[in-house]
Structure 1
Amino acid sequence: MDFTLVLEPAPEAAKAARDLVAEAFGKWGLESYEARLVITELFSNAARVSGEPVVVRVGRARGKVLLEVWDQSDEPLVLRAAGPEEEGGRGLFIIDDLVAEWGVRPLDGGGKAVWAVMA
């Protein structure tokens, strides 16, 4: 069973993404704290680079939970060290520590899907 929302790329929409994760994990009897943290970061990145609606998807297969965020930007995600004066640039390190694996794949019509498999 998959759970999907299409959200406007606005910071306040991150709560709806977290709520979707909480709903899915609740139905599966799983703790959602770390997944809510991950989806917030994925959504925030997508909302920042995309002027178009963002798709948030939560799925489960073979005992693993997959989080995905689709946006219309072709801007790549880069895992890089942020300087001490930079306000952003640390979120992917958090994701990298919390998930089993993550990556990016291009979408057929342009844009990308950023995905994470929860540990």
Structure 2
Amino acid sequence: MAARGQVPAFPVEAKAVEELRMPMAASPASVGLAWSLVEQRLLTWGFSVGARQDARQVLAEIMASAVAVTPTGAYVTLHCRRDAGGVVVGVGDRNTDVPRDPPPVVVLQPGDLDLRPEHFDDNGGWGLTIVKALAAGCGVTPLAGGGKIVWARLRS
């Protein structure tokens, strides 16, 4: 992620080779559809199985985060672009909150987790850590009309 106060640009080379930009319902079901669309591009561009698996996880984390901060009935926008530097995937949403860099990874013990049914899914916060581990780079680009694109440059 870019340092606080810096405004990185959605990474685009001067001549984009190919781009996919698609509004999608802010629904967990859209995560699978987004992956299907991006995977077809990655297959066409010759990405290996391992690289596609990493890309799937990266996209799932970014997409799930965007869906989580977007009101029901609204949409997020899937971005996938191939340029001279490789492939960048991103998801735009209208929420202005910028993800913070994740804290250092610590080893959790079972007692550290709140496993009560009403809090079972609240033990997360690993999405950005996963993205940073699997991507060649990542960042956030604020949108002029409000909101942002969270993006990651994929390893090939």
- TM-score in same-fold range (> 0.5): yes
- The aligned residue for residue 98 of structure 1 is 134
- The aligned residue for residue 100 of structure 2 is 78
- The aligned residue for residue 9 of structure 1 is 26
Q: TM-score, normalization: structure 2?
A: 0.71
How far 1:19 sits from its partner (Å)?
A: 0.6
Structure 2 gaps of 5+ residues are 1-17, 114-121
Q: Does 1:42 align with 2:24?
A: no
Equivalences, count: 119
Select the structure that is richer in strand: 1
Q: Secondary structure at the match of 2:100?
A: coil
In structure 1, how many angstroms separate the alpha carbons of the residues matched to 2:56 and 2:22?
14
- What amino acid is aligned across from residue 53 of structure 2 in structure 1? Y
Counterparts of residues 25-36 of structure 1 (less than 5 Å): 25-31=42-48, 32-36=52-56
Q: How large is the RMSD of aligned CA atoms in angstroms?
A: 1.6
Q: State, as a whole percentage, how many aligned pairs show the same letter.
A: 30
Deviation readout 1:59-105 (Å, 9 max, x if unpaired): 11114110111000001202334874242100110100001110001
Structure 1 gaps of 5+ residues are none
Report which of the two structures shows the higher radius of gyration computed on alpha carbons.
2
Higher relative contact order (CA 8 A, sep 6+): 2
Q: Does 1:68 align with 2:73?
A: no
In structure 2, how many angstroms separate the alpha carbons of the residues matched to 1:79 and 1:11?
24
